[in-house]
Amino acid sequence: MTSQMQEALGAVCRPSADSDRNPYIVNFCRVLVERKGEKLEPEAMKKLLGDMYRLFECMLGQNMINALPDSFREQYLELTKDLSKLSYEKIAEIFDKNVPEYDKVMKETMKQFAEIYMRNRAFSPEDYPVPVELLQS
């Protein structure tokens, strides 16, 4: 992964408030924990789900960037050099028009995430294809 792409992902992989989270992704993470049979206290569960959500967001961002055609990927990565010029509208303009099968990217990311999570005995961000330094608060 290039340092430019890592910086772009860094902008995506910031902790989000619970109210900003996609409820479908939160539920996806919760279902994985239940299927794996994890028995955690409420605070530990909240932390695990938060960590999983953040990691999933990073993986999805990485996969969405990779799904862009080369010219638009370069355009997006160039925009991320100055985050003051990057808006949600600009991001949507690039990704909505140039990743026509975003639902396929989402499904593949969910499948990838679930396979890694279910395969590992304990949840560890190091097991996922996302730079660990992006996940550190």
Which residue ranges make up each domain of the chain?
3-8+21-119
Question: How many whole angstroms separate alpha carbon 47 and alpha carbon 40?
Answer: 10
For residue 114, give the DSSP letter: H
Q: Which residue has the higher pLDDT, 78 or 2?
A: 78
Backbone phi, psi, residue 21, to 5°: -80, 145
Mean pLDDT of 36-49: 93
Q: What is the pLDDT of the chain when averaged over all its residues?
A: 84
Question: How many whole angstroms separate alpha carbon 87 and alpha carbon 85?
Answer: 6
Question: How many whole angstroms separate alpha carbon 69 and alpha carbon 73?
Answer: 6
Per-residue pLDDT band at 32 (split at 50, 70, 90): very high
Confidence (pLDDT) at 123: 77
- Any idea what the Cα angle at residue 135 is, between residues 44 and 87, rounded to 5°? 120
Mean pLDDT of 60-78: 92
